[in-house]
Amino acid sequence: MKRIAVTGAVGNIAYSLIFRLAKGELFGANEPIALHLLETKEVAPGLKAIEMELEDCAFPLLKEVISGDNPEKVFEGTTHLFLVGAMPRGPGMERKELLSANRKIFFEQGKALDKRADENAIVLVVGNPCNTNCLIALHQAERLNRRNCHAMTRLDQNRASALLAKKAGCAVTEVEKALIWGNHSTTQVPDYEHATIRKKPVKDVIHDENWLNTTFPSQVQKRGAEIIAIRGKSSAASAASAAIDAMSSIVHPTKEGEWYSSGVYSAGNPYGIDEDLVYSFPCRTLKDGTVQIVSGLSLSPELVEKMKVSEKELKEEREAAYVGSSV
Ligand code: NAD
Ligand code: LMR
């Protein structure tokens, strides 16, 4: 049985995520599921309503629901964790401004992961700033495999694929290998140079170089803020959908010649990025479940320069987060 944890279970994203997980979207129709739902003490009473709705859905695969406000209890034996619970940003804010409020959540939950999660647990950090929150958690969760800890840049990848498809007038499934490097922030590097549309290089299909080099990256980088400005709240359904896509890519072997973007621990990366960051790279999951950073991609000087800017921002976040310290 897969034991799937969702933190921030009464929040916006969780409401779009939990029911899809309970339906079996991640592991298919034959895998029973237990849900482990975590909230803060103040909001924990709201978990009752989520549990009632789950019951009313009569999901055949859902065998057990465990909920509460104690991370150690809720994480007991969990195999797949969606760490969503964290403060979201409001209009005009940058995600890194959330660090002072959210860092302690990931410090505490990293410790709880270390004590209670399954030793092969796979962790996807969604709460922002997700790269640095993931770094904080993995430094506490020493028992876990660091390569199993991910920060979600899949929403950015999905946004990039959708934009390229719209511009090319093709189906989104015809866009492959769109890629995000770096931080889930405005310094992220959406990369079309390694992507293909109908198996051809993007530049052979979209001839508008100005759009590719300026409009495209800027729209991906600012999409989250644009949604907040219109909706008053951050993206939720698309974030939940990306979280399922991200975890699905991580747990299932990657098809030959493909990759997915994920924020992973940078130790041993082949692109010269600082070795103690969570940085978004092209990744593949091998048949034995190992996650590898794809090596050997040739990078244009423009791309390298942008990747360095994102790396610098992540180093600054690492410093501001006092990674490894509880204060
Ligand atoms: P929300 O405010 O609707 O829900 C967050 C929930 O987390 C709240 O119910 C809150 O009580 C809970 N929470 C806070 N501290 C907690 C803790 N210590 N343990 C358990 N639960 C806790 O916010 P949301 O819209 O669901 O967004 C959640 C986070 O996800 C935000 O930080 C947001 O910025 C981020 N996000 C990331 C991406 C991404 O692509 N990586 C996309 C969208 C949103
Ligand atoms: C997003 O990209 O939509 C999320 O990270 C929410 C945000 O703060 O932009």
Q: Is the CB of 239 under 6 A from ligand 1?
A: yes
Q: Is the CB of 66 under 6 A from ligand 1?
A: no
Q: What percent of the chain stands above pLDDT 90? A: 96
Active site residue 184: yes
Strands 175-176 and 196-197: antiparallel
- pLDDT (0 to 100) of residue 173: 97
> Is the distance from CB of 278 to CB of 269 less than 8 angstroms?
no
Gap between the Cα atoms of 93 and 115, Å rounded: 34
Counting ligand 1 atoms within 8 A of each CB, the residue from 7, 154, 234 with the most, and so the one to mutate, is 234
The CA 165 to ligand 1 mean position distance, Å, reads 30
Phi and psi at 208, nearest 5°, equal: -85, 90
Atom of ligand 2 nearest to the CA of 235: 3
pLDDT above 60 (res 287): yes
Helix 154-168, helix 237-251: angle, nearest 10 = 100
Atom of ligand 2 nearest to the CA of 238: 3
Q: What is the mean pLDDT of residues 126-144?
A: 97
Residue 323 pLDDT class (50, 70, 90 cuts):
confident
pLDDT above 60 (res 327): no
Q: Is the CB of 127 under 6 A from ligand 2?
A: no
Q: What is the mean pLDDT of residues 88-104?
A: 92
Q: What is the mean pLDDT of residues 202-212?
A: 98
Beta bridge partners, 122, equal 80
Q: What is the mean pLDDT of residues 176-196?
A: 97
Mean pLDDT (the chain, rounded): 96
4-21, pLDDT tens digit by residue? 999 999 999 999 999 999
Catalytic residue, chosen from 36, 80, 150, 184, is: 184
> Is the distance from CB of 128 to CB of 105 less than 8 angstroms?
no
144-170, pLDDT tens digit by residue? 999 999 999 999 999 999 999 999 999
